[in-house]
Structure formats: structure tokens, C-alpha cells
């Protein structure tokens, strides 16, 4: 509980049940402090914030507050119909409300299982436990700008939660290499944010629409539910073409190509000229290697040249192989989904340093993955296209309008 970062995290999360706080942002709420936390005035109590750690239980948390085992047992029994103490989970925030005198007598235990919900066990007067909820309001926002650094930096300047950058990189993983975006590339994003009690910012809720300039093109992204009520969202461009390709561009999140597919190459270990039937991506030992498409693990093992390797069969046409692993994670016969980690980067076999050699088969022949026009996932069905175009029309108009105003400045 002495750890400052844990204290701040707990306060950021638990401040959702604060009243009369300076709620311009969670940072202000932390720095200036609320006047009341879940009904307990901060001027009258010493309130300690923390998160549930591995192995912690309600019993030992309370025992540390000078309460005996028998008393803890009685407390649990008395509140069991209102709050099941076994439901507390690690990394969830809680607070101990204690008297300000030298006895530091525990007045209340507050636990927050999720946004806007908190359980209070009140030890004052007669023991009681209750649950309260704070309303969450969703607000839509559109921003636009031009890159002057990374996407995360651009969003930070707009005061947007960094989680949005992660979400965008996943949406565009098959069409944009964010490390190759250039200074001045324009973007626009419409998204929703959560606010507790209409004022306290609680992060990004969902992505509604986006576009990025990339290699001379403007690439739009709109989430759409083809089967109403399924809850499955897919991303398409302004014409209804799917953004998600059948294959990822590379088996690593961070791409550093050190050797390409070649009919002849001087081998750095064998010191002779031979064909190089793959693409080498350098990365630190232990970096996760992802399967670039869904399929079934056809082979795993070790050979003197390949080192530890995994081979995945995707369909009747395509297979991929990943060489020189330090560790194999996938097992033979396992079904894997695009992006699943199947191994770790290493330098086993004939390798001068840590990297993954990515090999690609088409109809049983090894080919250059970077030179292929790889298949895309299915686009919108014909019957859904009119509904989709009608749905995205106001979103695209709003996005383009905000972007146009921004760029004129």
C-alpha cells in the first residue's frame, strides 16, 4: 500500500464514486482530490487506495486492520446475502476508510469490481453492506489532424486515451504499416468515450469511423454488423471492401527485414551461394511470432538447418513456415487463429543472430510472400451493401467535414 503508482491507480478508478470533485479529468481528480468518496468525507477520514494483489482475500485484508479471525468470520456471515467476499479479483481497486486518530479504526471497506459499480461494507454503528451504481454516459467525438510523430503522440495531443491507438493498429493491421506513416499524413477518427456521472472521463468506448492517408491513398474504416444481432463487427472501406486480408503482412508486430526471397544468396553461415526461399525478419530473442493466417499446425520440430520451426496449413492452396525459433509454443494438429503466438524468435539452426525466416507455399511451391497479391476476406454481401452504404453516409460526411475544417487552419 506504500507504492505510489498503485495508490494513484486505485484513486483514478475509485474516484468514480466521488462527489464534488474537480472532474475536468481523472488527473485533476487525483491531484486536487475529491471532497467525498462514496459518502465518506476526505476531511474526516484517512482513505487508503490499493488494488487486490495475488493471493489476497477479504479476510487477510481486514485482519491487517487489527480485526481478529473470529470477527472477520462474523462480518462475512453477516453480509453474505448482500456481498459475497469471494467475488473479489486481483487487480481490482479497493479502499480502506479509517479514522484519522492514532487508532486508525476501520470505518469502511470499498471495492470496485467494474466501472461505475462499487460495494461498500460500512463498519460504523451497525454493520451493513450495500452496492451503488454510477450512471455511465456515452459521448461521440470526432477528431482530425496530421501526423507529426507517432499515432500515439498525435492522439495524446488531442487528449485521447492511448487505447484508441492500439485499437486502430489492429483494425488497419492488414492494410497499413504504421511504422511507415510519414509526417504530414492526414487522419480522421470518430469514436465514443465513456463518462461516469456525465463528467468523469473513463476512456474510449468504441470506434465508429476512421481514415488515414497512406502511400497516396485515403483508407477508410467503418465497423459493420452484417448479421443483425450477432454482435460480430467487421471493418470495411467506403465501398464495402473488407479491410481484413487473409494474411497478415508479417509474422511479427515490429518489422525489420534483413534478407528477402532470392534465387541466389551468399549464405552467411555456410559461406556459399544458394537460394533463399523465405523472408528474414530480425527481432530480439523471445519476441512473439504470430501465424499470419488461420489454419492447422501441420508440422513442428527441429532440423539442423531450420532449427526449431512450425509449419501451418491454411487451406488447399497456402501454407506458411516459421524457422529458427528459440521456443515452439504451438503443437502439431492444433487449430490456430490469425495473430495467435506460435513461437518465440531465436537463432537455432543455421542462423547468425535472432530472427524468424518466414516461408510461404502456394500450391506446394515456395514463393515470395512479399511479391504476392494475397487474397482478402469476403466483403459485404450484395443484400447488405445498400444498408451499409446508408449507415456510413452520415459518418463519412461528419468525418470529412471535421477533417476539412481542421486542414484549412
Q: What per-residue confidence (pLDDT) applies to 29?
A: 30
Closest among 169, 168, 161 to 139, alpha carbons compared? 161
Looking at the predicted structure, is the pLDDT value of residue 101 above 50?
yes
pLDDT band of 6, cuts 50, 70, 90: very low
Q: What per-residue confidence (pLDDT) applies to 21?
A: 36
Lowest mean pLDDT among 26-30, 173-177, 263-267, 381-385: 26-30
Q: Which residue has the higher pLDDT, 33 or 208?
A: 208
Q: What per-residue confidence (pLDDT) applies to 195?
A: 85
∠ CA 391-395-400 to the nearest 5 degrees?
140
pLDDT band of 32, cuts 50, 70, 90: very low
Lowest mean pLDDT among 142-156, 249-263, 299-313: 249-263
Question: Model confidence over 38-84: pLDDT tens digits?
Answer: 778 888 998 888 888 888 888 888 877 766 666 888 888 888 888 88
Continuous segment of H or E residues that includes residue 26: helix 26-32
pTM: 0.54
Question: Model confidence over 355-408: pLDDT tens digits?
Answer: 999 999 999 999 998 888 776 566 688 899 999 999 999 999 999 988 887 766
Cβ atoms of residues 183 and 153 within 8 Å: no
Question: Model confidence over 253-286: pLDDT tens digits?
Answer: 877 888 887 766 555 655 555 568 888 999 999 9
Q: Would you state the torsion angle of the CA atoms of residues 390, 394, 395, 397, taken in this order, to the nearest 10 degrees?
A: 120
Report CA torsion sign: 365, 366, 369, 371: negative
Q: Give me the percent of the chain exceeding a pLDDT of 70.
A: 85
Closest among 359, 378, 379 to 369, alpha carbons compared? 359
Q: What is the mean pLDDT of residues 309-321?
A: 93
Q: Give me the percent of the chain exceeding a pLDDT of 90.
A: 31
Altogether, the residues listed in the chain come to a count of 409
Q: What per-residue confidence (pLDDT) applies to 299?
A: 95
Lowest mean pLDDT among 245-259, 270-284, 293-307, 311-325: 270-284
Average pLDDT, the chain: 82
Q: What per-residue confidence (pLDDT) applies to 269?
A: 54
Cell numbers of 184, please?
504530414
Look at the block and give the residue holding cell 518489422. 255
304 CB contacts (<8 Å, ≥6 apart)?
Answer: 349, 350
Q: Which residue has the higher pLDDT, 12 or 353?
A: 353
Looking at the predicted structure, is the pLDDT value of residue 87 above 90?
no
Other beta carbons within 10 angstroms of residue 320's beta carbon come to 24
Looking at the predicted structure, is the pLDDT value of residue 344 above 50?
yes
151 CB contacts (<8 Å, ≥6 apart)?
Answer: 165, 168, 169, 178, 181, 187
> Phi and psi for 173 in degrees, rounded to 5?
-55, -25
Amino acid at each position: 500500500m506504500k507504492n505510489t503508482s498503485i495508490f494513484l491507480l486505485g484513486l483514478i478508478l475509485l474516484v468514480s464514486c466521488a462527489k464534488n470533485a474537480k472532474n475536468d479529468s481523472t488527473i485533476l481528480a487525483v491531484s486536487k482530490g475529491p471532497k467525498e468518496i462514496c459518502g465518506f468525507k476526505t476531511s474526516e477520514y484517512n482513505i487508503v487506495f490499493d488494488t487486490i494483489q495475488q493471493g489476497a482475500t477479504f479476510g487477510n485484508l481486514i485482519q491487517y486492520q487489527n480485526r481478529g479471525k473470529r470477527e472477520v468470520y462474523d462480518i462475512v456471515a453477516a453480509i453474505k446475502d448482500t456481498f459475497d467476499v469471494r467475488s473479489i479479483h486481483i487487480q481490482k481497486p479497493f479502499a480502506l476508510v479509517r479514522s484519522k486518530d492514532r487508532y486508525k479504526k476501520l470505518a469502511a471497506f470499498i471495492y470496485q469490481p467494474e466501472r461505475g459499480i462499487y460495494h461498500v461494507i460500512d463498519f460504523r454503528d451497525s454493520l451493513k453492506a450495500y452496492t451503488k451504481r454510477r450512471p455511465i454516459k456515452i459521448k461521440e467525438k470526432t477528431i482530425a489532424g496530421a501526423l507529426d510523430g507517432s499515432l500515439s503522440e498525435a492522439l495524446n495531443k488531442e487528449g485521447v486515451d492511448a487505447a484508441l491507438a492500439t485499437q486502430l493498429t489492429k483494425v488497419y493491421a492488414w492494410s497499413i504499416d504504421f511504422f511507415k506513416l510519414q509526417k504530414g499524413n492526414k487522419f480522421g477518427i470518430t469514436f465514443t468515450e465513456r463518462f461516469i456521472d456525465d463528467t468523469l472521463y473513463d476512456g474510449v468506448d468504441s470506434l465508429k469511423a476512421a481514415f488515414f492517408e497512406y502511400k497516396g491513398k485515403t483508407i477508410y474504416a467503418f465497423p459493420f454488423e452484417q448479421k443483425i444481432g450477432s454482435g460480430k463487427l467487421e471493418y470495411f472501406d467506403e465501398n464495402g471492401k473488407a479491410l481484413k486480408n487473409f494474411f497478415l503482412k508479417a509474422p511479427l508486430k515490429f518489422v525489420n527485414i534483413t534478407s528477402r526471397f532470392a534465387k541466389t544468396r551468399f549464405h552467411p553461415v555456410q559461406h556459399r551461394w544458394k537460394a533463399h526461399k523465405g523472408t528474414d525478419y530480425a527481432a530480439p530473442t523471445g519476441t512473439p511470432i504470430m501465424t499470419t493466417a488461420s489454419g492447422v499446425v501441420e508440422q513442428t520440430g527441429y532440423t539442423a538447418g531450420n532449427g526449431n520451426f512450425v509449419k501451418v496449413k491454411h487451406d488447399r492452396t497456402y501454407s506458411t513456415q516459421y524457422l529458427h525459433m528459440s521456443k515452439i509454443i504451438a503443437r502439431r494438429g492444433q487449430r490456430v487463429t490469425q495473430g495467435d503466438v506460435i513461437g518465440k524468435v531465436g537463432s537455432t539452426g543455421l542462423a547468425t543472430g535472432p530472427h524468424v525466416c518466414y516461408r510461404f507455399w502456394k500450391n506446394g511451391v515456395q514463393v515470395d510472400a512479399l511479391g504476392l497479391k494475397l487474397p482478402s476476406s469476403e466483403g459485404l454481401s450484395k443484400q447488405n451493401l445498400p444498408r451499409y452504404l446508408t449507415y456510413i453516409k452520415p459518418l463519412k460526411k461528419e468525418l470529412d467535414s471535421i477533417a476539412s475544417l481542421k486542414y484549412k487552419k
